[in-house]
Chains A and B, each alone.
Chain A
């Protein structure tokens, strides 16, 4: 079963996939941005500053999803010692960190005109900050520890410990009083965002996910090349 995700086999179709995403990415980006910035209506309360949502919300989702993926893959990798999974988690981490920081920064920019403050130490915002710290620890573990097996083990454990933070972020707005509003889109699929605003939100999510896939594939390719190069040296 694990032979399917054999690095050398993946290498061949990664190139094709990258080219395919490249060919549709910019067209979709332009469509999504047109909907988000021009065609969608302003909010009845917030006016045009609601448009920050179209970057903020997908970024936060991707930040959370990336870490969940890293943690779950880390569990499998820790138990069955599959080296290839570590290459994948290593490639996801910078993307997750980027989008978590993007969510925090856009949130800050959004907070100023709506709430009246750049920053608040409420549960949602603080737990997002903790998430970014976990990302940084994960990346640092790979960078600072020279012994590869040890680095993988430490990074995996960091990811598994950080998994606890994910439900805390998700439910922080329900468990405690926060300045951040409750989730607009519930897990059961109901949404309190008007359809004319939900469409650009989903389009932006799609575009940002494609961007993630692009970066992930490129990063993964580099990791494989790095390993191959090492083996050549050894021979």
Chain B
């Protein structure tokens, strides 16, 4: 069954696949900073060259008890449990935006600790459950 032609095709394919995997790996690796949909507050603290005029996205969790709403704007804190960043935003927020939930803010950095957003996206987790169960869990925690 394994004739010379078949062997040739097998080696061609394996060579093709291996070189493709290596090529894709390096392409994706060098593009990592572009593939990341958002930066965490820690990424921003650690980065050396921040461009303040460029639009970026910051993501993490909305810190508990940090949302302050007044007539003009919504202020809240994005945290990744190591570092935090203050966000100021005026506009409508998605329904799923709430304290303790994931959020991605699009806008510009004012400095390393202050971010002015012009768009807010909500990021939810991979857990799905009926509302009764969530109430039950909350009661048990209390």
Contacts and interface: CB of A to CB of B under 8 A. Distances in A.
A181 B127 CA distance: 9
B138 to A, nearest CB: 10
Contact of A115 (B39, B123, B128): B123
B20 A122 contact: no
Nearest to A117: B121
Interface of B: 6, 9-10, 13, 16-17, 20-21, 24, 28, 32, 35-40, 59, 93-97, 101, 104, 119-134
Contacts of A161: 16, 20
Given A114-B96, A196-B130, 20 more contacts: A41-B132, A42-B130, A42-B131, A44-B129, A44-B131, A45-B96, A45-B101, A53-B128, A114-B94, A114-B95, A115-B96, A116-B119, A122-B37, A164-B21, A168-B24, A176-B32, A176-B36, A179-B37, A193-B127, A193-B129
B15 to A, nearest CB: 12
B37 A78 contact: no
Nearest to B23: A164
Q: Is the interface of A mostly helix, strand, loop or mixed?
A: loop
A131 to B, nearest CB: 14
Nearest to A114: B96
Contact of A79 (B13, B20, B39, B104): B13
18 contacts: A41-B131, A44-B130, A45-B96, A115-B94, A115-B121, A116-B119, A116-B120, A163-B17, A177-B38, A177-B59, A178-B37, A179-B123, A181-B123, A192-B125, A194-B129, A194-B130, A197-B128, A197-B130
A121 interface: yes
Contacts of A176: 32, 35-37
Contacts of A117: 121
A116 B119 CA distance: 9
A154 interface: no
Contacts of A160: 13, 16-17
